Amino acid sequence: MSDTLGVARPRLDAPEKVTGATRFAADGYVHGLLHARPVLATEPHARIRGFDTDATLAVPGVVAVLSAADLPLAGTGTDRTSEPLAREEVVFAGQPVALVVAETEAAAEDGAELLVVDYEPLEAVVDVEAAMEPGAALARTVEDSDDEGGDLESVHGQVDKGQEDDAGEQLSGNVLDRVTREQGDVAAAFAASDAVVEATFRTPWVYQAYIEPQVCTAWLEPSGTLVVSTSTQGSFVTRRELARAFDLPLDRVRVIAEPLGGAFGGKFALVEPLAVGAALALQRPVRLVLTRSEDFAATNPASAQVTHLKVAARADGTLTAIEARMIVDRGTNAGWGVEGATSLLVAGPYRWQAHDLRGYGVQTNRFTFGAYRAPGAPTAAFALESLLDELARELDLDPIELRLKNAVVEGDVGVSGNPFPTIGAVEVLERLREHPLWAQRNSLPDGEAVGMAAGHWPGAMEPASAVCRVDADGTMTVVTSVADMSGVNSGFAVIAAAAFGLPPEQVRVVTADTASAPYAGASGGSKVTYTVGPAVIRAAEAAREKLLAAAAQELEIAPGDLEVVDGVVRAVGAPDRSMTVQEVASKALRFGGRYEPIEGHGGSAQTSGAPSVAAHLSHVRVDRQTGEVTVLRHVIAQDVGRALNPALVEGQMRGGAVQGIGWALFEQLDHDEDGRLLTGSFLDYAIPTAERVPEIDTLIVEVPAPDGPFGAKGIGEAPVVGAPAAVANAVARAAGTRLYELPMTPPRVWQALRS
Amino acid sequence: MSDTLGVARPRLDAPEKVTGATRFAADGYVHGLLHARPVLATEPHARIRGFDTDATLAVPGVVAVLSAADLPLAGTGTDRTSEPLAREEVVFAGQPVALVVAETEAAAEDGAELLVVDYEPLEAVVDVEAAMEPGAALARTVEDSDDEGGDLESVHGQVDKGQEDDAGEQLSGNVLDRVTREQGDVAAAFAASDAVVEATFRTPWVYQAYIEPQVCTAWLEPSGTLVVSTSTQGSFVTRRELARAFDLPLDRVRVIAEPLGGAFGGKFALVEPLAVGAALALQRPVRLVLTRSEDFAATNPASAQVTHLKVAARADGTLTAIEARMIVDRGTNAGWGVEGATSLLVAGPYRWQAHDLRGYGVQTNRFTFGAYRAPGAPTAAFALESLLDELARELDLDPIELRLKNAVVEGDVGVSGNPFPTIGAVEVLERLREHPLWAQRNSLPDGEAVGMAAGHWPGAMEPASAVCRVDADGTMTVVTSVADMSGVNSGFAVIAAAAFGLPPEQVRVVTADTASAPYAGASGGSKVTYTVGPAVIRAAEAAREKLLAAAAQELEIAPGDLEVVDGVVRAVGAPDRSMTVQEVASKALRFGGRYEPIEGHGGSAQTSGAPSVAAHLSHVRVDRQTGEVTVLRHVIAQDVGRALNPALVEGQMRGGAVQGIGWALFEQLDHDEDGRLLTGSFLDYAIPTAERVPEIDTLIVEVPAPDGPFGAKGIGEAPVVGAPAAVANAVARAAGTRLYELPMTPPRVWQALRS
């Protein structure tokens, strides 16, 4: 086992991916396939008067033009799954209003271009703050009469909503949700503090920018079973959502989670209802592959936020009070919002004496927002960690020391009201402090600086199960329903190998579909390794029991006196009395065999979270002439519990840091003042390309999670959280002035330098 | 549970099958599919000099002509899996010698017709008795140099081979196998008996006559995984055989057992190597669908047998000695034979004082034989039960009483040397005796008679496993790898429902493929319900434990005080304190759920067999003018252990009886004296059509199998065993003369009446 865990190994899917052998959801051939092309609203807010379909239907090969009324939808909910095509009311420019379905992709595209939609424009709500004011125009005028509603919130959140809000504020009907968390006398705490800082922070809509645009193929088997082959983060949740939206029995829907070409939170039952609705309406297989422009315009990016934050400390650096008013632009996502998460996470992994945290979910006519790696966290950390640096500056304290002084440890009660479980905030900050770059920060050339910031992600939980099966050749198959995102399957392989006693290269992992797979939730929330991993361990242990029972009879040694090492069952202390796993398995898996198959099932239901903390150093240069910021070097230290496969762990850390640099410097989905998207392609929307990404040092910190598989935690989200703030803190030092809005583009930096 | 077991229910797959919705192996669409047409040898024994492929390759659409050398076979074995196309030597007329592969079925057919094969004829061995003589020509001249060989025998048999044979006999090289079972002084026992009868019995080659001819589609995924979609009785055995034949790692082969259109023992890795070999050679998807004529000529029917049998009894009917010399025509199946099984089963479910049983597996240039429902048993029972009637006649004893006097009970040592486990021979015979038809037998019109006979099948065993999963809607999915033959899936549904506590209609059964399925052996040997059933029970029980653990917390009642009835978990004695299974499951299967998924895995490894005995009454009329035999009525009594679903049990009993009537009266694969098939279509090969099948009474006898699921036994094979003998005994009485050869066609009966 010592050779199994903690060893850097390639991802299991790497050979297939780098040789182009992986079949993604757009690659499968389906006989009689029709191709759908969505027609996207050109108006941000409008009533649909009607469609002129004549020219479209005249295109050879066009089979149908479908509007919302043509899809066999069950209810009248306004979440994207329930309303995949706008009914009477368009609520954002980019919203699908029709599908043109044709025998070829080209015909569908030609037909879509010719479709005429007659809109009656309505007033567009694009300013999220103005939208909150009493009397503001509403972003949606038709009420959702469907109580069933979308419940994708349950996938992402069920975040504690804090106390009932006091309702003292007068707000418009665009405010869909208010979250309030109060504890202690905040005013008194501010008054008794030695330093108080406050500011308003703004972050834009940010696109997940997965490599593979969203895609789904749906068809009906002759038996009536609906099969959905899709690029999704969760097969069971997609099945549930589709069954709900189209009022189908669960077992009539079979969802196949195909290999993912990236997702980052964005792939949840968004295009599936379009393909499924068309397939059900036309009784033929239908595929929808979004173009990149459609994916920019019609999907569910991270929400823009406005955060008013005020924090204070005593002279010794002890944090006292925090007050936040956080406005989350939900676009038209009536189903759920991140105001709960962001108003929780804005307190960071720190102790406070008093807090007053409010979150507002506000609808506007921009997108429908969705999840994006650590939803609500980077923007919260950007605000908090910026102000912590301001406090350190005012109090003349070392920024890391300030944070260390206040970092939570296990048992500290957070703003959620619950005590923190095991958490590595102190360890991560201490580790970061040791990095040479931190010592070098005061001896850098003019225009350069090092900033630091921390961030954490609490980690989600969901029951899960897994099966382990040993074949007659002595190799093992791990079966789950988990969409292999961020290399989790490769983690399962080492987990199973270690728990069973096989070399990891003799373990493969299969993602089965919803017809037969063990249950697991969607890949997201940094929960897969943490919650499915223990199920894999138990499945491997159950299989190992079968192995030992059989080997005990063959070797005439009690099972308790046997061990399994590297694929060999042997007597403890007498390793020459042994059989290979292959020998045992092949004796069981045959006609007349006398031993049960070497298989096992394991389940898990974590009830204790495992937050991961990551802290960053970012070394930047600010060009005072142009305002351009260059990240010269970046360091990330993260508590991962236990690095099952350091290569994959470092990949997540680097990937998170890079996406955080994107938030910091490049990425923003921008609308014009009427609510039309200005940045609908990679020509307009900048992401950190290889040449803009510096060397990134990764410092793995291991504070084992008591309930994690071999101590491991979910690590996918934490590394992005603090990265934008670290870059911002570096820029503030290098430029001598702070920016409160992301991304820190050259014009903005240039302007800040001049102001 | 009382409402679950023992209730007649439709098969789960009935609606799909009767509405034509089932997708069989020939129905799936595969992109870029090529179609293969086999070229069958026209010579029964020959050397292939070469092929003239010019005309074939000139057919538009023909892609390739493949001979054995073109297939990437690993070894030089001569079993049909290892040698799917004849190498240098043709050993039966009908053996595939080449595949023509084309873009369309029509082109492949045209190409196949134009292929010229240059044969050098060799002497054909067609008389199985002559073939045994020292100095006889050999049916195969090239030796199998491959020690690995085929091991399909392990699927069918591992029947105890008895003692080493004495090798006293001089036999030719065509004798591939000799089985000897001796115990006691046979000669002395015969000498001390009051009646001794003997005769030689002949049974022909018999075709399985499944509705769906053999079919397989094979393709390579871009990843290199070979996918095999096929009509097979066993996915894992097919995977193993293909991996062996083509030297592939097990996990490179994924076998999908598609819904079966009948099999009866004939569908085991026979066409798969052809489709796979072509797909590997051409790197394109290939489908092979045998035509009915090809299926007749090129597959693996039940072997012809010649049985010399001698039995004796004392005046009181006590059986004394049995001596058999049983010659099994293996055709060219060098891999395995039924001489072991038939020489065991010829002793019937009876006690003997002494026995000398010999079996010979002999090669000829006819077919390669395969398994057919109770391999070797009907022909053994035909011989034994005919002579038992002769003994009864000579000793003036009632035939049923004679059998009852000698019927084995649990603990009696059989000719295998092992004691019989629980067996219902006495119960079945007693039940049959009560049927009114037996009382009527002496008051029938001239030319009519009732005959009776018994037969048994020991039942095979193989370790197996299964998974049960409860979905959020409270329904259950049972996952196995079992090919659904004879309605076993429908049996699993009631087994799981009873073990868990759900209504059976809320249970579905999924056959997963080898990539992810729990292990189970092939469907055959009457072992599926008996061996997989307990795995299903344990899986359901394991899932039930999860259910009770969760419900216990929700209801605040100890799990031990809960019961599950009809989908409701309730307190024992306080049924109003309850939750539905759906309520519990939906609390577990969601984000933030606190209970493990309601799932379980179960394994089984039966080590004690559960033989099933079936006895028949057959009421026939013999037309003395034409020799035509009409079965007027038929009764079957069978010990099924426990009738989980009486409708399916009766279906098996009726089906077995009907196939037995086919053996008795109609079915024979006949060759001309040169070894060329004369009966290669349903025009020449008669099976019992609906108008020839009488009313069949089914008497279900339940002698529970201690280790069977709820007492159930495997029941698929026993009902065919004694049926031909029962008809033969009826014909012997009605005609006043006995026939020793099957089928009892009008010419044969007419001749017997005249002799």
Q: Which of A519, A538, A707 to mutate to test the interface with B (most CBs of B within 10 A)?
A: A519
pLDDT 10s digits, B88-126: 999 999 999 999 999 999 999 999 999 999 999 999 999
The reply to whether B260 falls in a domain is yes
Nearest by CB: B221 against A23, A222, A588 = A23
3-state secondary structure of A364: coil
The pLDDT tens digits for B413-432 are: 999 999 999 999 999 999 99
Closest in A477, A546, A590 to B154, CB measured: A590
Inter-residue contact A400 to A432 (CB < 8 Å): yes
| CATH number of the CATH domain containing B533 | 3.30.365.10
Side by side, which strands form the sheet with A612-622?
A448-457, A612-622, A629-639, A695-701
Does some domain include residue B546? Answer: yes
Name the packing angle between helices A723-735 and A646-665 (round to 10°): 50
| Per-residue 3-state assignment (H helix, E strand, C coil) for A187-255 | HHHHHCCCEEEEEEEEECEECCCCCCCCEEEEEECCCCCEEEEECCCEHHHHHHHHHHHHCCCHHHEEE
Q: Does B680 reside within a domain?
A: no
Task: Report the pLDDT value the prediction gives residue A147, as an integer from 0 to 100.
Answer: 44
Say whether A595 and B460 touch across the interface (CB within 8 A).
Answer: no
| A window 578-617, beta carbon within 8 A of B | 588-597, 599-601, 603-605, 607
A4-53: pLDDT as tens digits = 999 999 999 999 999 999 999 999 889 999 999 999 999 999 999 999 99
Domain boundary among B557, B574, B604: B604
Q: Over A668-708, what HEC string results?
A: CECECCCCCECCCCCCCCCCCCHHHCCEEEEEEECCCCCCC
Query: Which contacts of B548-556 are long-range, i.e. CB under 8 A and separated by 24 or more positions?
Result: B549/B595, B549/B596, B550/B584, B550/B587, B550/B588, B550/B595, B550/B596, B550/B598, B551/B579, B551/B584, B553/B594, B553/B595, B554/B579, B554/B583, B554/B584, B554/B587, B555/B579
A158 to chain B: which residues are within 8 Å by CB? 591-592
Q: What is the longest distance spanned by two Cα atoms in chain B? A: 85
φ, ψ for residue B548 (rounded to 5)? -70, -35
In a domain, residue B53? The reply is: yes
Give all strands (DSSP E) within A513-611, no chain letters.
562-565, 568-571, 574-580, 599-604
Percent of chain A with pLDDT over 90: 94
Q: Which of A160-174, B7-21, B341-355 has the least mean pLDDT?
A: A160-174
Copy the structure tokens of residue B500. 């868990």
Mean pLDDT over B638-654 rounds to 98
Are residues A451 and A733 in contact, defined by beta-carbon separation less than 8 angstroms?
A: yes
- Of B705, B646, B236, B212, the closest CA to residue B480 belongs to B236
Per this entry, what is the length of chain A? 755
Of B557, B572, B604, the last residue of a domain is: B604
pLDDT tens per residue, range A525-575: 999 999 999 999 999 999 999 999 999 999 999 999 999 999 999 999 999
Structural domain span for residue A482: 461-604
Kindly state whether residue B330 falls inside one of the protein's structural domains.
no
Say how far apart CA A536 and CA A218 lie, in whole Å. 31
Statement: residue B601 has pLDDT above 50: yes
d(CA B226, CA B253): 5
Q: What is the pLDDT of residue B336?
A: 87
* Cα four-point dihedral sign A178, A184, A188, A192: negative
Nearest chain A CA: its distance from B174 CA (Å): 28
Best of A253, A516, A537 to mutate (most B CBs within 10 Å, chain B): A516
Q: What is the pLDDT of residue A154?
A: 52
Q: What is the pLDDT of residues A695-727, one digit of tens each?
A: 999 999 999 999 999 999 999 999 999 999 999
Contact A44, A124 (CB under 8 A): yes
Number of domains in chain A: 2
Q: Domain holding B45: CATH number?
A: 3.90.1170.50
Over range A387-405, report the average pLDDT.
98
Categorize the per-residue pLDDT at A157 as very low, low, confident or very high, splitting at 50, 70 and 90: very low
> Above 70 in pLDDT, residue A160?
no
Local confidence band at A143 (pLDDT 50, 70, 90 cut-offs): low
Residue type, A96: P
Burial class of residue B69, CB neighbours in 10 A (0-12, 13-18, 19+)? exposed
Are the beta carbons of A352 and A321 closer than 8 angstroms? yes
B674 HSE (CA, 13 A, CB side) = 11
Q: Of B43, B545, B717, B741, which one is the catalytic site residue?
A: B717
Q: What is the reported pLDDT for A162?
A: 56
Chain B residues with beta carbon closer than 8 angstroms to that of A223: 16, 21-23
Average pLDDT over residues B697-701: 98
Instruction: Please tell me which residue of chain A has the smallest CA distance to B603.
Output: A596
Specify whether the CB–CB gap between A675 and A124 falls below 8 A. Answer: yes
As a whole number of Å, the CA-based R_g of chain A is 27
Residue B720 token pair: 């065919």
C-alpha–C-alpha distance, residues B349 and B412, integer Å: 10
Question: Within an 8 Å CB–CB cutoff, is residue A481 touching chain B?
Answer: no
**Is residue A145 included in any domain, yes or no?**
no
Once rounded to an integer, what is the mean pLDDT over residues A44-66?
Answer: 98
Q: Could you tell me if residue B556 is inside a domain? A: yes
- Our CA-based measurement puts residue B591 at a distance from the nearest CA of chain A, in whole angstroms, of 5
Whether A149 shows a pLDDT value over 60: the answer reads no
**Token pair of B85 as six digits:** 């196309």
Burial of A50 (0-12, 13-18, 19+ CB in 10 A): exposed
User: Would you state the pLDDT for residue A159?
Assistant: 45
B140-189 pLDDT per residue, tens: 997 655 444 445 555 554 444 555 555 567 899 999 999 999 999 999 99
Find out whether the peptide bond into B743 is cis, omega within 30 degrees of 0: yes
Separation of CA A46 from chain center: 31
Q: For residue B148, indicate whether it is catalytic.
A: no
Cβ pairs A/B, distance under 8 A: 188
User: Given A588, A604, A620, which residue is the final one in a domain?
Assistant: A604
Give how far Cα A28 sits from Cα of A101, A256, A258, B223, B446, Å.
18, 12, 10, 13, 69
Rounded percentage of chain B residues whose pLDDT exceeds 70: 96
Nearest-angstrom CA–CA distance, B61 and B64: 9
Taking the complete model, does pTM exceed 0.90, yes or no? yes
* CA dist., res. A585 & res. A475, Å (int): 9
Q: In what order do the strands lie in the sheet with B89-90?
A: B89-90, B46-52, B116-121
Nearest to A584 by CA among A575, A573, A596, A572: A596
Distances (CA, A) of B288 to B156, B294, B660, B684: 25, 11, 31, 24
Q: Which two tokens stand for residue A726?
A: 């670290």
Question: Do the interacting molecules here have an ipTM over 0.90?
Answer: yes
B50 φψ region: left (φ > 0), alpha (ψ -120 to 50), beta (else) = left
Among A318-322, B590-594, B699-703, the least confident range: B590-594
- The answer, yes or no, to whether residue A238 has pLDDT greater than 90, is yes
Q: Which amino acid is at B558?
A: A
- Candidates B391, B752, B427; CA nearest to B613 is B427
Q: How far is B6 from chain A (nearest CA, A)?
A: 26
Instruction: Let me know if residue A715 belongs to a domain.
Output: no
A contacts of B251 (beta carbons < 8 Å): 471, 473, 475, 477, 508
